[in-house]
Amino acid sequence: MDLEERPPSRGLLRQVGARLRLDWPAKTIGLTLGMAGFFAAYFRLLNHPLFTVTVMPLTPLDRLIGFQPWTLALYVSLWVYVPLGCILQGSRRELRAYAVAALGLGALGLASFLVWPTAVPVLRTDWATHPTVAILKSVDASGNACPSLHVAFAVFTVLCLGRLLRDLGAGVTLRAANWLWCLGIVYSALATGQHVVVDALAGASLGGLVGGMNRIHSARSRRAGDAAVRGREAVRTAA
């Protein structure tokens, strides 16, 4: 039974627990395969660009933000944040729609990196004093910069989670925390030197577009599902 059809009167934690259990093997396998496939293509394009790499320009805002290594934890938290949009889906229909949207977002970003390789300017600093950030830089080099898929997936997720939290009856505090987490990730993409403002704006636009389309599709799908339920109830009543 789709959990979104169940009464919203149950406690928030009970609803979350039920959603976590729904199709958890499919969610786990899908997330694992999706991320593995994405990163395989991502690092292939990062290390073997097909065309000349364009270095993205710095803006006054980039210079104002500067390098803030303390934001690394926020940057890495994306890989906790994004899966929430998958594991909290409450129906198979919504889960399929989410998967299509997430795969589409990744494919659009990778296609952009394929035809237009980009990189951020080299960050001049003593990496010996920032060993944890240095590890990130050694793994995820300065390429695949624009659009920032880090920002794109954060914006996509904030929109998905916003709808899910509303469906769960979450209060203002949780909904605000969702947006603050997203904004923190976006800020960290700039403050760690992984992206510049132009990358972030492009990524936010891409994530907002795909996330918005997903919300519109979900709303239409839900209305169609509700109409089908009412139709079945009417048939049973008439019988």
Instruction: Tell me the pLDDT of the chain averaged across its residues.
Output: 89
Supply the pTM of this predicted model: 0.88
pLDDT tens digits for range 46-79:
999 999 999 999 999 999 999 999 999 999 999 9
Nearest to 162, CA basis, from 84, 64, 222: 84
Nearest to 81, CA basis, from 171, 168, 153: 153
Q: CA 133, CA 149: separation in Å to the nearest integer?
A: 19
Q: CA 143, CA 159: separation in Å to the nearest integer?
A: 27
More confident residue, 6 or 41: 41
The domains of the chain are located at: 24-238
Whether residue 147 has a cis bond before it, omega within 30° of 0: yes
* Pairing of the two strands 118-119 and 54-55: parallel
| 192 three-class SS | coil
Q: What is the per-residue pLDDT for 5?
A: 47
More confident residue, 180 or 231: 180
Q: CA 99, CA 120: separation in Å to the nearest integer?
A: 30
Residue carrying structure tokens 């209305």: 223
Q: How confident is the model at residue 235 (pLDDT cuts 50, 70, 90)?
A: low
